[in-house]
Amino acid sequence: MLLLIIIVLAFIVLSFCYMFYTAQRDHLRFHKFTDSQYPSQIPLRIFFISDIHNRIIKESTMHGVEDVDVVIIGGDLVDKRTSASKLKSNLHQLLKLDAPIYFIPGNNDHEYQEGNLISLLNDYNIGTLSNDDRILDAKDNSFLLSGLDPYFLRPRRMMSAAIEDTDYFQVLCVHDPYVFERMNVEDKKKFHLVLSGHTHGGQIRVLGMGPYQRGVFRSMESQTILVSEGYGTSVFPLRFGTRAECHILEVSKP
């Protein structure tokens, strides 16, 4: 009986160690795709990271991120556990990529307790897109980045430029993919690339089942969708059946 108890306890401890290790083991994923609406001969490279929460971004992971044109933080940059020093450390890692950085708020960002998050990001020259859009220049190409935010700064509305202007290659970032799914069908069609996170892929999946679907990268003829499993974790720093990930996306003409 004692031996059985020892075996069970050892299994539990090893399981938790494995889940903690999995939550800390980074996956830098590279997605290369084409889009007929992309106008430039020079590919556009985007670094996308979401759901950092209370993790520290690893310098070794950032070493693999090269020559990106823009950095997009897809929400849950922080939560109520995040210290000011940890946030600043993560921002310094992202600033090393030497590319414009834009932040689209998630549901946990309003819980930050170490000051005004948006003001701090402004101090680091990081733009916040809260139900707003920005025309960005990358190499010889301009594209439209829109941030949809049902949580944070302003009343929820669709971005005017995204509705009225279809000449640009349009990128939408919305933290929760289900917000995009509930959008008007015609509005959804306007976006060529859609980026989101929030779900953590379910974070802990047993026999392939979890509270949310796994992350997905799906490239179709007129629209590409990425739902990231996120970089950090919520509640417990554990993962099982999912992965800690961030992404480089490269879009080019067919």
Could you report the per-residue pLDDT of 63-106, keeping only the tens digit for each? 999 999 999 999 999 999 999 999 999 999 999 999 999 999 99
For residue 142, give the DSSP letter.
E
For residue 55, give the DSSP letter.
P
The Cα–Cα gap between 186 and 225 comes to 16
Phi and psi angles of residue 13, each rounded to the nearest 5 degrees, phi first: -60, -45
pLDDT of residue 155: 45
The Cα–Cα gap between 176 and 148 comes to 9
pLDDT of residue 160: 52
What's the domain count of the chain? 1
Q: What is the pTM of this model?
A: 0.92
CATH no. for residue 126? Answer: 3.60.21
Pick out the chain residues at pLDDT < 50: 155, 161
Q: pLDDT tens-digit profile of 1-30? A: 877 888 878 888 998 999 999 999 999 999
Site of tokens 């106008």:
39
Q: In which domain, by residue range, is 22 found?
A: 2-252
Among 195, 198, 174, 238, smallest CA distance to 79 is for 198
Q: Is 75 left (phi over 0), alpha (psi -120 to 50) or beta?
A: left
pLDDT of residue 228: 98
